[in-house]
Chain A
Amino acid sequence: MSFLAALLQQTFLQHAVAASLLAALACGVVGVLVVLRRIAFLAGGIAHGALAGMGAAYLLGWPPLPGAIAAALAMAVLLWRLTTRQRHDEEVLIAAMWSVGMAAGLIMIARSAGENPDLMSYLFGNILMVGRDQLLWMAGLDLLTLGIVAAFYPAIATTVFDEEYARLRGLPVEAIRLLLLLLVALTVVLLIQVVGLILVIALLTLPAAAALSSRSMLAMMWRAALIAGAACLGGLWLAYAQDWPAGASMVLLTAAVYLVASLRRR
């Protein structure tokens, strides 16, 4: 059965396509902020720290998604506090938070009684298993993320372009920095559903970086979202038709688009 024919009949594929597009939207918009503000390393820390939240949720018998949201948001606040003043050991702190969060998550998952959660699906995503509830959560996260960006777009753009100037203009620069990290946290949780937390960082950076030649930040966001969406659907097709791992296929496709874009810019 062809991919398109299957798509018309199979609910799990329809869910997977919807999840891909929802994730791509947030990933394009927030990915541009990550790339332009150069906080990819912080975003990675937030993504890996989210595992601690999922582990805690499992240990307490809660659904993992709220746990991941809470942990990612907490991680964002923590990393914001740690990097408020440009410290010389900033990188070390981020790296430590990154691995400590993941280690805590692994231990809590291992200690959780009874059910054996599918660890691999957290780490590498399992888009073919996305259910209706998860889709609703993802749509809510998308609305929240895009709504915040839309409401404060000019202030965010001014701050990302020139923080010193934004501060002089009286913009709440530090609060906007926190807002960006919180947006990253929400997006990371969205993307974990699709590609898993290990590969999140690829989707948060490569589509945006491939769209760098745009005329404005807004245009770059649309292009990045389109690239991410196309790569996710392509990855989905590879997963269905060739039985490749979906998340990994999406990442490689995104990387290919990025490579072509950088070669063309030369």
Chain B
Amino acid sequence: MNAELRACDTTQSLGDGATRLIAAPAIVLEHLSFARGEQMVLDDLNAVLAADDFVVLVGPNGAGKSTLLHLILGLLTPTGGGVTLLGGAPAATRAAVGYVPQHGRFDRRFPIDVGGMVLQGRQPPGWHPGWRPTAADQAAVDEALTRCGIAKLSRRRLGALSGGEMQRALIARALAGKPRLLLLDEPTASIDPAGQEALYTLLGELNRQMPLLVVSHDLSLISRQARRVWCLNRRLHVHPALELTAETLASLYGFPVRAVDHRSDHAEAV
């Protein structure tokens, strides 16, 4: 099934519904547009994130990446076209998305430990007066911590974590909610090489169970794990990850991009 799905990657369009009936796509963008006043931020985006996909979303600053994430999650309303998230309207289905924000934006002095933060991933929607986590919630937390390899850090305060550990804790919080899709924002940014390496492996493992959409500038992530790359700069171009060339990226960013190959430990300009 996977081979079949991947075989049609290069010719992917909304018309190939026949092969996709096997498993419903996680995200479908149809003629999605978003304008802020006169300014067109996103212009007629069309793409499908398949049920087993690993998509990396790239694009220069100001290309509309955050806007697209907010549209996918239903925090913004499209000015044209639409988004289908996990088979429904984003506002109704987004609770099933495991969202992993950038690790750098947290106040490290906040009085909370890793276990406490991951437990917040079990928070039910709505008011629920008197709700307290149950043993089942705690079990889901322990499972998520183990899966992310940070079971030992459960009692550690957030402020004492490294960037890589914090990123794992945020992924664990998303996993605790038993998501059907993971959405990560710059997971490998400002993390040391060893931490990045471990994250690539973890993301690859997670992709065996669920689709991933990762916003990233990290070319290693694209070459290692991604199946498809969404190149965004007001308009969206979908590339199979293996075919993504330096020229494509350079034209997207408007300047030559430096690719870093961690495997050979050599940096080469492309």
The segment from A80-88, A118-126, A159-167 found at the interface with B is A159-167
> Could you tell me which residues of chain B, from 93 to 107, have a CB within 8 Å of some CB in chain A?
94-95, 97, 99, 101, 106
Per-residue interface assignment for chain A, residues 155 to 179, with 1 indicating a CB less than 8 Å from any chain B CB and 0 otherwise: 1011001101111111110000000
A154 within 8 A of B: yes
Check if A217 sits within 8 Å of B112, measured CB to CB: yes
Knowing A213-B111, A217-B112, say if A165 contacts B129 (CB, 8 Å). Answer: no
Check if B125 sits within 8 Å of A161, measured CB to CB: no
CB distance from A243 to the nearest CB of B (A): 38
A219 within 8 A of B: yes
Most buried by A among B95, B112, B121, B131: B112
Check if A162 sits within 8 Å of B120, measured CB to CB: yes
CB distance from B21 to the nearest CB of A (A): 29
Check if A170 sits within 8 Å of B95, measured CB to CB: yes
A212 within 8 A of B: yes
Select one of A157, A161, A165 contacting B99, CB under 8 A.
Answer: A165
CB distance from B7 to the nearest CB of A (A): 34
Overall SS of chain B's interface: loop
Check if B95 sits within 8 Å of A165, measured CB to CB: no
Per-residue interface assignment for chain B, residues 102 to 138, with 1 indicating a CB less than 8 Å from any chain A CB and 0 otherwise: 0000100111110011001101111111111100000
Residues of chain B within 8 A of A214, CB atoms compared: 111
Residues of chain B within 8 A of A264, CB atoms compared: none
CA distance A170 to B90 in the complex (A): 12
Total contacts A-B at CB 8 Å: 71
Check if A154 sits within 8 Å of B101, measured CB to CB: no
Check if B94 sits within 8 Å of A168, measured CB to CB: yes
Select one of B95, B127, B157 contacting A168, CB under 8 A.
Answer: B95
B23 within 8 A of A: no
Knowing A36-B110, A216-B112, say if A164 contacts B125 (CB, 8 Å). Answer: no
Residues of chain A within 8 A of B121, CB atoms compared: 169
Most buried by A among B111, B112, B132: B111
B187 within 8 A of A: no
Check if B125 sits within 8 Å of A169, measured CB to CB: yes
| Count class of interface residues, chain B | 20 to 34
CA distance A253 to B97 in the complex (A): 48
Knowing A161-B117, A164-B101, A167-B75, say if A152 contacts B112 (CB, 8 Å). Answer: no
A215 within 8 A of B: yes
CB distance from B267 to the nearest CB of A (A): 35
Overall SS of chain A's interface: helix
B177 within 8 A of A: yes
Nearest CB to that of A208 among chain B residues? B111
Check if A155 sits within 8 Å of B99, measured CB to CB: no
Residues of chain A at interface, number, CB under 8 A: 26
Nearest CB to that of B73 among chain A residues? A168
Residues of chain A within 8 A of B123, CB atoms compared: 154-155, 158, 166, 169, 171
Select one of A157, A170, A212 contacting B125, CB under 8 A.
Answer: A170
Check if B120 sits within 8 Å of A152, measured CB to CB: no
CA distance A229 to B123 in the complex (A): 32
CA distance A212 to B106 in the complex (A): 15
A180 within 8 A of B: no
Check if B106 sits within 8 Å of A162, measured CB to CB: yes
Select one of B101, B111, B173 contacting A212, CB under 8 A.
Answer: B111
Residues of chain A within 8 A of B112, CB atoms compared: 161, 215-217
Per-residue interface assignment for chain B, residues 194 to 205, with 1 indicating a CB less than 8 Å from any chain A CB and 0 otherwise: 000000000000
Most buried by B among A164, A165, A212, A217: A165
CB distance from A33 to the nearest CB of B (A): 12
List 17 contacting pairs A-B, 8 Å CB cutoff, sorted by A.
A36-B110, A154-B123, A154-B132, A155-B128, A157-B120, A161-B120, A162-B106, A165-B173, A168-B94, A169-B95, A169-B123, A169-B125, A169-B177, A170-B94, A213-B111, A215-B112, A216-B112
A interface list, Cβ under 8 A from B:
36, 151-152, 154-155, 157-158, 161-162, 164-172, 212-217, 219-220
B interface list, Cβ under 8 A from A:
73, 75, 94-95, 97, 99, 101, 106, 109-113, 116-117, 120-121, 123-133, 155, 157, 173, 177
Which 9 residue pairs spanning A and B have beta carbons closest together?
A: A170-B125, A151-B129, A214-B111, A158-B120, A220-B111, A158-B123, A170-B95, A168-B99, A169-B123
